[in-house]
A and B are shown apart, each in its own frame.
Chain A
């Protein structure tokens, strides 16, 4: 049974190939079946394999498919590796992935390039599965780049709009920067440890650097660079908001549930490297913290509903990084899972809303929809609750796990904790704002709900998961990292625990007062000069884009403009010019006058005479 592992990624690949080969000539229904079905099949395969794995007492299973390349002592094979971590990821990818595909069959129905869409989506799932199942870092990198490619393709799916194209390229290039760091990390790792096989290299690292070293830290940091790029963490986060240009299911699958969490997976996967290096872990934590802080503030002032979700995604992933940094490995992965549930839910629900409003994404043009769009409303409500980590939601469980472990971690625990909690407050604040602007207040646009079963079913399932998903945590994830990492019971420091629990509620309350009632007039704050300035600053995502444009993009463009006709070429043009000049000068001497010719001859004779005389 376990040897069916290879089937899991194969199904989506097959789907992709079929859809490509048929060039979209298939009827839409068939396309939908293939597109969603392939993922469904691999989900089934995943469950079978997973069940086998869980029931068996083995902690890991690896399957070698074929030798990729052997050059001297560099030897990589294409092989899959399954352990609990991978299993969770596979579960999320295939499960949530399937639901989103299902949803997309309805969402994309009226769009151009229906089958192209599903081809891309299947390819993405395939690449993502390789990423998490890859036994060697090179195979992981293959998946890593593959998902990047699909993200590029899907962001720019509506390619006739240049803006989308720009967003897509931005996403690809920015992540490419991270990837470069990652690949350099691989080079360094290979040079130091001599292999790119994940398990071997981890063992090797433990043997070579029993108590850490600069090299180890360097590798860890380089890998972190890759993770930052993929997971849209500061300072490489700028691509994610623009990535919302893609169709909403894409945002749900790639930019919320799976791809953006690849960074988290990478770090978790290479855990031992980080355990060996204080600095590296600290960096991870700081990166996460900064991101989640910045993002949550930015989310507060966005007007585009998807951008709000994008920034919230950023901040949630910030939480995960933070968790990894403070050693809450299991919690991080746990939050990854729950976040996949509720964020997918939120995106899909907002997608329904957007669809109902004819692709209107501006929240200020929404409002009062809660009665008109019940299913989206309720599912969105649940999702928001989970996002805001209100009690008894999955989000609550995972986030508390993180915060509490943070509080317990010895190094600067409380500082970290307080910042994180503040961010948690902000989270619930902007969640409330989002909910209010979208569903309450007076109606600004008339919705046309055209959600069919294949669209509300996923919402339903995901809602259930967002609530109940939390309880999965204790069953599965407890054993996730075995002895490593922090064991998973919460011995509460009462005060901390209570604060952690209450802050979100407080946020909700404040949010309610701010947005729903006129207890204090928020206009006054936002219209006041400092308020405006801060608002604008937050709105543009703390001005990272501007900095990058003026520091890198525009200079490069300028250089490209000025040197279109290769400066080096002037070197050669110049030489030819010189030759021409000499040619013209010499030609003057050929004036056809015999006596002048005679003169040159005799002067030539004189010249020879002088030469001979001189020597």
Chain B
């Protein structure tokens, strides 16, 4: 699969995306502030988006881009809900530290 799309081989893109994804994962794991966690989530999604676009280009189909659009919409919707929850969090727990919200165990 060495035939490049704009000179960049597909697998390079994919490895790059995987790195992005992992960065997102690490972000979720190490950050306690909800906002940053949301950012990391976005990062993960966009990692997927990148792959879609690259793959679309690779197969010269529009599907990749279409999917990207969906992902954007999706991310927007999620953030909308998420931020609402964040507001509630700050109201009720008076903090943005996600570890504060860990009352249910067992």
**Chain A positions within 8 Å of B102 at CB level:** 591-594
Contact with B along A577-599 (1 / 0, CB 8 A): 00000000001001111110011
Q: Distance in Å from the Cβ of B74 to the closest Cβ of chain A?
A: 19
Given A595-B28, A602-B25, A602-B29, A587 contacting B99 (CB threshold 8 A): no
Expressed in whole angstroms, the Cα–Cα distance for A590 and B104 within the complex equals 9
> Is there contact, CB below 8 Å, between A599 and B106?
no
**Chain B positions within 8 Å of A599 at CB level:** 29
> Is there contact, CB below 8 Å, between A594 and B105?
no
B91-106 with Cβ < 8 A to chain A: 98-99, 101-106
Q: Distance in Å from the Cβ of A431 to the closest Cβ of chain B?
A: 87
**Chain B positions within 8 Å of A594 at CB level:** 98-99, 101-102
Most buried by A among B98, B101, B105: B105
**Chain B positions within 8 Å of A598 at CB level:** 25, 28-29
Given A602-B25, A602-B29, A595 contacting B105 (CB threshold 8 A): no
CB closest residue in chain B, given A597: B102
Expressed in whole angstroms, the Cα–Cα distance for A335 and B29 within the complex equals 104
In the assembled complex, B59 has its CB within 8 A of some CB on chain A = no
The contact size tier of chain B is 10 to 19
> Is there contact, CB below 8 Å, between B101 and A590?
no
> Is there contact, CB below 8 Å, between A595 and B98?
yes
> Is there contact, CB below 8 Å, between A587 and B106?
yes
**Chain B positions within 8 Å of A590 at CB level:** 105-106
A595 CB contact (under 8 Å) in B99, B103, B104, B106? B99
Expressed in whole angstroms, the Cα–Cα distance for A271 and B18 within the complex equals 101
Contact with A along B38-61 (1 / 0, CB 8 A): 000000000000000000000000
**Chain A positions within 8 Å of B30 at CB level:** 595
CB closest residue in chain A, given B104: A592
Expressed in whole angstroms, the Cα–Cα distance for A609 and B68 within the complex equals 26
Q: Distance in Å from the Cβ of B106 to the closest Cβ of chain A?
A: 6
**Chain B positions within 8 Å of A592 at CB level:** 102-105
Interface size for A (C-beta < 8 A) is 10
**Chain B positions within 8 Å of A602 at CB level:** 25, 29
> Is there contact, CB below 8 Å, between B32 and A595?
yes
Q: Distance in Å from the Cβ of A601 to the closest Cβ of chain B?
A: 9
> Is there contact, CB below 8 Å, between B105 and A591?
yes
Q: Distance in Å from the Cβ of B46 to the closest Cβ of chain A?
A: 18
Q: Distance in Å from the Cβ of B39 to the closest Cβ of chain A?
A: 14
Expressed in whole angstroms, the Cα–Cα distance for A587 and B25 within the complex equals 25
**Chain A positions within 8 Å of B103 at CB level:** 592
Q: Distance in Å from the Cβ of A377 to the closest Cβ of chain B?
A: 91
Q: Distance in Å from the Cβ of A280 to the closest Cβ of chain B?
A: 77
Expressed in whole angstroms, the Cα–Cα distance for A598 and B36 within the complex equals 14
Most buried by B among A590, A593, A594, A599: A594
**Chain B positions within 8 Å of A587 at CB level:** 106
Expressed in whole angstroms, the Cα–Cα distance for A598 and B104 within the complex equals 16
Expressed in whole angstroms, the Cα–Cα distance for A592 and B99 within the complex equals 9
Q: Distance in Å from the Cβ of B86 to the closest Cβ of chain A?
A: 13
Expressed in whole angstroms, the Cα–Cα distance for A587 and B104 within the complex equals 12
CB closest residue in chain B, given A599: B29
Expressed in whole angstroms, the Cα–Cα distance for A598 and B102 within the complex equals 13
**Chain B positions within 8 Å of A593 at CB level:** 99, 102
CB closest residue in chain A, given B28: A598
CB closest residue in chain B, given A587: B106
Q: Distance in Å from the Cβ of A115 to the closest Cβ of chain B?
A: 70
CB closest residue in chain B, given A598: B28
CB closest residue in chain B, given A602: B25
Expressed in whole angstroms, the Cα–Cα distance for A438 and B30 within the complex equals 106
CB closest residue in chain B, given A593: B102
Contact with B along A440-478 (1 / 0, CB 8 A): 000000000000000000000000000000000000000
CB closest residue in chain B, given A594: B98
Contact with B along A396-420 (1 / 0, CB 8 A): 0000000000000000000000000
Q: Distance in Å from the Cβ of A373 to the closest Cβ of chain B?
A: 88
**Chain B positions within 8 Å of A591 at CB level:** 102, 105
Expressed in whole angstroms, the Cα–Cα distance for A602 and B106 within the complex equals 21
> Is there contact, CB below 8 Å, between B29 and A595?
yes
Expressed in whole angstroms, the Cα–Cα distance for A587 and B29 within the complex equals 21
Expressed in whole angstroms, the Cα–Cα distance for A587 and B30 within the complex equals 23
Most buried by B among A591, A595, A602: A595
Q: Distance in Å from the Cβ of A608 to the closest Cβ of chain B?
A: 15
CB closest residue in chain A, given B34: A594
**Chain A positions within 8 Å of B101 at CB level:** 594
Expressed in whole angstroms, the Cα–Cα distance for A592 and B25 within the complex equals 19
Expressed in whole angstroms, the Cα–Cα distance for A599 and B26 within the complex equals 9
A167-191 with Cβ < 8 A to chain B: none
**Chain A positions within 8 Å of B32 at CB level:** 595
**Chain A positions within 8 Å of B99 at CB level:** 593-595
**Chain B positions within 8 Å of A595 at CB level:** 28-30, 32, 98-99
Expressed in whole angstroms, the Cα–Cα distance for A190 and B67 within the complex equals 90
Q: Distance in Å from the Cβ of A592 to the closest Cβ of chain B?
A: 4
Q: Distance in Å from the Cβ of A597 to the closest Cβ of chain B?
A: 9
**Chain A positions within 8 Å of B29 at CB level:** 595, 598-599, 602
In the complex, 8 of the A-B residue pairs with CB atoms within 8 angstroms, ordered by the A residue number, are: A590-B105, A591-B102, A591-B105, A592-B103, A592-B104, A592-B105, A595-B29, A595-B98
Given contacts A594-B98, A594-B101, A598-B28, 18 further A-B contacts (CB under 8 A): A590-B105, A591-B102, A591-B105, A592-B102, A592-B104, A592-B105, A593-B99, A594-B99, A594-B102, A595-B29, A595-B30, A595-B32, A595-B98, A595-B99, A598-B25, A598-B29, A602-B25, A602-B29
Chain A positions near chain B (C-beta within 8 angstroms): 587, 590-595, 598-599, 602
> Which 10 pairs between the two chains have the least Cβ-Cβ distance?
A592-B102, A592-B105, A593-B102, A598-B28, A592-B104, A594-B98, A602-B25, A591-B105, A590-B105, A595-B29
